[in-house]
Amino acid sequence: MTLQEYDYARESPSKLAASCLLLALTMKNLGGWTPTLEYYSGYRSQDLHSLVKRLNFLLTYQPRDKLKAVRTKYSHRVFFEVAKVTPMDMLKLEEILKNC
């Protein structure tokens, strides 16, 4: 979804990927950012917090009518319907990230 948004073009691909992973781990309640993830990604959890919040915010809004291709593709069961996952409540996300 970030491919369609110019605001994310300035982010490094590795930081974007790490932030997406942290958001996914948080959304699925699979734990937080471990020392192993920090070591191999090169990012501390605190380095990712603002981008994680922006990514969750992006999930809360439906795409414009002309930009539905990515959401439609990832709404298919072949891709585990990840585009249909409900975004986290921003206050809950803030609280969880504080404790990471």
43 Cβ partners below 8 Å, 6+ apart? 14, 15, 18
Q: How confident is the model at residue 70 (pLDDT cuts 50, 70, 90)?
A: confident
* Token pair in block for residue 78: 């072949």
Domains along the chain with CATH numbers: 2-99 (1.10.472.10)
**pLDDT of residue 43 exceeding 80:** yes
Query: Average pLDDT in the 19-45 region?
Result: 94
* Token pair in block for residue 55: 């990514």
Query: Average pLDDT in the 23-34 region?
Result: 91
Query: DSSP string covering 18-59, please?
Result: HHHHHHHHHHTT-----HHHHHHH---HHHHHHHHHHHHHHH
Question: 80, 47 in Cβ contact below 8 A?
Answer: no
The chain-wide mean pLDDT, for the chain, equals 89
